[in-house]
Amino acid sequence: MRRVRALLLALVTIGMVGTAVDLLLLDHYEDAWQLPPLVMVVVGLVVVAWAWFTGSTNSVTAMRITMVLFLATGAAGLLFHYNGNREFQREMDPSLEGWPLFVKVIRAKAPPALAPAAMIQIGLLGLLYTYRLVARADRAIGPPDRSAR
């Protein structure tokens, strides 16, 4: 289980770094409403490092709280992206409604309506990492124990 947890934490970290790079390359900081995902990634990386090196009860609790905030940030991002795209599509063609409007909104490339789902995926992976962690007395994941081979 220790290796699985280490792999989950690695996936969470890779997801956060990739998301941060993507957001920075897209200048996703021009408006105050665009900052929460970047702030969450910075907080997430700090919490992941804390969990990796200590595995303390407090770090696991912080990880859980942070990952729930990732879920909330992703859900809010989905709403913002969807609503922005919907407004744009309605301006372009006021007669659009129902299913045709939904399809146009979801397929829009700027902003990509489903891009914030990456935050939700990171949050779910992070929560999976913490599943029964404290109850099983798994402590720091840290570097793998090479003597156990």
Is residue 144 in a domain?
no
Supply the pTM of this predicted model: 0.85
Contact present, 82 and 105 (Cβ < 8 Å)? yes
Give tens-digit pLDDT for 17-29: 999 999 999 999 8
Is the confidence at residue 125, as pLDDT, over 80? Answer: yes
Before 111, cis peptide (omega within 30)?
Answer: yes
Q: Which domain holds residue 75?
A: 2-137
Mean pLDDT over 44-50 rounds to: 97
Is residue 142 in a domain?
no
How far apart CA 87 and CA 94 sit, in angstroms, is 10
Is residue 146 in a domain?
no
Is residue 29 in a domain?
yes
Domain count along the chain = 1
Give tens-digit pLDDT for 64-119: 999 999 999 999 999 999 999 999 999 999 999 999 999 999 998 888 889 999 99
In this prediction, residue 137 has a pLDDT band, given cuts at 50, 70 and 90, of very low
**Both tokens assigned to 15:** 């997801």
Is residue 49 in a domain?
yes
Is residue 34 in a domain?
yes
Is residue 147 in a domain?
no
